A and B are shown apart, each in its own frame.
Chain A
Amino acid sequence: MKNYRGSILFVAGFAIALSAGWLAFPRAEYERQNQPIQFSHKVHRDKGGMKCEDCHAIRDDGTFSGIPAVDKCAGCHAAPMGTTDEEKRMIKRYIEPNREIPWLVYARQPENVRFSHAFHVKLAKLACERCHQAHGDSNSLPAFERDRVSGYSRDILGDPSLANAANRHPGMQMDDCIRCHQQRGVQDSCLACHK
């Protein structure tokens, strides 16, 4: 009996640690933040008949405009076009006072990463979906998840092994870049993609 008792306790501790590490930690690791306002890429594409590059353009100098400034939104939404409260909120909060919308950028790479959209879109002819998946079809913006430890967005620094159905597949980690570059036989030095 006595010996058993010892082993049981050991196993118990073992089990507790495992469950904590595999189940609790992945949730605790990320802090979830909601976007300042909801936004539907789908609506803008289908109803608005817009293409990605209408808002996310590559400038002449090869830099990428990223998420458009609020005046771009104001271009159409000076007055409500739809009936959603979300749109009204946006107009009231940001367009009227002409305040920039503090978007939380899922794909925002670390400061030391240099990613040229010009290269991948214009030369390599990659489609947006190649990295951004179906983000362009999304009807709503999921919560932004920030890794509490590294401070980076889950999309660029999530652990794929922890990726569950709930969140998008993280396809923008260094490993993903390297994998794709290897498949296409692109030889790179560190500073080709870091700055």
Chain B
Amino acid sequence: MAANKSARYGMVIDLDRCTGCGACMVACAIENNVPPANAKATERTGITWMRVHRLGNGRPFPDSRAVFFPILCQQCGHHTPCVAVCPQNAVEVDAATGIVDQMPQRCLGCRYCMAACPYHARYFNWWDPAWPAGMEKTLNPDVAPRMRGVVEKCNLCHGRLHRAESKAAAEGRRDIAANDYVPACVEACPAKAITFGDLADDQTEVAQLARSEGAFRLLEKLGTESKVYYRSERPWVHQAVKSGIGKEPQRG
């Protein structure tokens, strides 16, 4: 029942504005009922639908520079790696929005999709979701908490899309108002580094930014037609992204 039929929601993230503060990660977790880490969790077993990485230029002090790289589900529009592999149709691309949907209640936790995703944007619930006693009442009623043993990932705050749709319906509209639907990370970014909108509509700011000079996508050659764009004026950033893997381990 998604509104604006055949929209292609996506975003452009301005790496030159991102300060790496982590507001997007926190806002995302709160919006989507992602639990705090289990005491034993590490940066490899945690759940961060939105995760800010740090990419350095590999040069020593004082020439070292770094850029913060927010990574979320890239919402691949073509050859979507995770969709084809799921044995029981728990993943699909929503024709109406272009959003890659993950159905935790259908997932059996085989993690094949995680092996398939080159962006490492999928996360497995290694533990039961647990909030400190009494904190369950701060959960967002628009998003169902997931259970242990299933995979989850960013769905561009589908709960917020639902909210926008219901609001529109209450007012007798089928199409949602653009500013009624903004993912939590976009809203929360203090540097206003993320531009969100419908890429299918050439008039939107996001569509224009995506086409602008200095905009690029990760692993573009895989032909996954992802809907998350990045942009930077800094040449070395483009260099680092092109040269791909095989560099020093990076923090973040």
Query: Is A in direct contact with B (CB under 8 Å) within the complex?
Result: yes
**Which A residues form the contact surface with B (CB < 8 A)?**
58-63, 110-112, 114, 116, 118-119, 122-123, 186-195
Q: Cβ of B165: which chain A residues have Cβ within 8 Å of it?
A: 62, 116, 119
Q: Complex: how many Å from CA A192 to CA B97?
A: 10
B97, B143, B174: the one within 8 Å of A195 (CB): B143
Q: Closest B-chain residue to A189, C-beta based?
A: B94
Judged by DSSP, the binding face of A is loop
A122 touching B158, Cβ below 8 Å: no
A44 to chain B, nearest CB (A): 25
Nearest first, the 3 A-B pairs at minimum CB distance are A62-B166, A189-B94, A62-B170
Instruction: From known contacts A189-B2, A191-B158, A192-B94, infer whether A61 and B101 are also in contact, taking CB-CB under 8 Å.
Output: no
Q: Cβ of A59: which chain B residues have Cβ within 8 Å of it?
A: 170
A195 to chain B, nearest CB (A): 5
B113 to chain A, nearest CB (A): 14
Q: State whether the Cβ of B17 lies closer than 8 Å to any Cβ in chain A.
A: no
B105 to chain A, nearest CB (A): 5
Q: Cβ of A119: which chain B residues have Cβ within 8 Å of it?
A: 1, 165-166, 169
B32 to chain A, nearest CB (A): 10
Q: Complex: how many Å from CA A112 to CA B163?
A: 15
A111 to chain B, nearest CB (A): 5
B174 touching A191, Cβ below 8 Å: no
B169 touching A195, Cβ below 8 Å: no
B166 touching A194, Cβ below 8 Å: no
**Which B residues form the contact surface with A (CB < 8 A)?**
1-2, 90, 92-97, 99, 101, 103-106, 142-145, 155, 158-159, 162-163, 165-170, 172, 174
Q: Cβ of B94: which chain A residues have Cβ within 8 Å of it?
A: 189, 191-192
B163 touching A61, Cβ below 8 Å: yes
A112 touching B105, Cβ below 8 Å: yes
Q: Cβ of A191: which chain B residues have Cβ within 8 Å of it?
A: 94, 99, 101, 103, 155, 158
A110, A123, A193, A195: the one within 8 Å of B142 (CB): A195
Q: Complex: how many Å from CA A191 to CA B93?
A: 10
A15 to chain B, nearest CB (A): 37
What are 26 residue pairs bridging A and B, where the CB atoms are less than 8 Å apart in the complex? A62-B166, A62-B168, A62-B169, A63-B166, A112-B104, A112-B105, A112-B144, A116-B1, A116-B166, A116-B169, A118-B169, A119-B1, A122-B170, A122-B172, A123-B169, A123-B174, A187-B95, A188-B1, A189-B93, A189-B97, A189-B101, A190-B90, A190-B106, A191-B101, A194-B103, A194-B144
Q: Complex: how many Å from CA A174 to CA B93?
A: 20
B87 to chain A, nearest CB (A): 15
B219 to chain A, nearest CB (A): 25
B167 touching A61, Cβ below 8 Å: yes
A118 touching B170, Cβ below 8 Å: yes
Instruction: From known contacts A116-B162, A192-B94, A195-B142, infer whether A61 and B170 are also in contact, taking CB-CB under 8 Å.
Output: yes
Q: Complex: how many Å from CA A72 to CA B94?
A: 41
A190 touching B169, Cβ below 8 Å: no
A189 touching B170, Cβ below 8 Å: no
B138 to chain A, nearest CB (A): 16
B166 touching A195, Cβ below 8 Å: no
Q: Cβ of B106: which chain A residues have Cβ within 8 Å of it?
A: 190
A195 touching B162, Cβ below 8 Å: yes
Q: Complex: how many Å from CA A20 to CA B106?
A: 31
Q: Cβ of B166: which chain A residues have Cβ within 8 Å of it?
A: 61-63, 116, 118-119
A60, A111, A186, A193: the one within 8 Å of B170 (CB): A60
Instruction: From known contacts A188-B1, A189-B95, infer whether A58 and B142 are also in contact, taking CB-CB under 8 Å.
Output: no
Q: Closest B-chain residue to A61, C-beta based?
A: B167
A133 to chain B, nearest CB (A): 23
Q: Complex: how many Å from CA A63 to CA B142?
A: 10
Q: Closest A-chain residue to B101, C-beta based?
A: A191
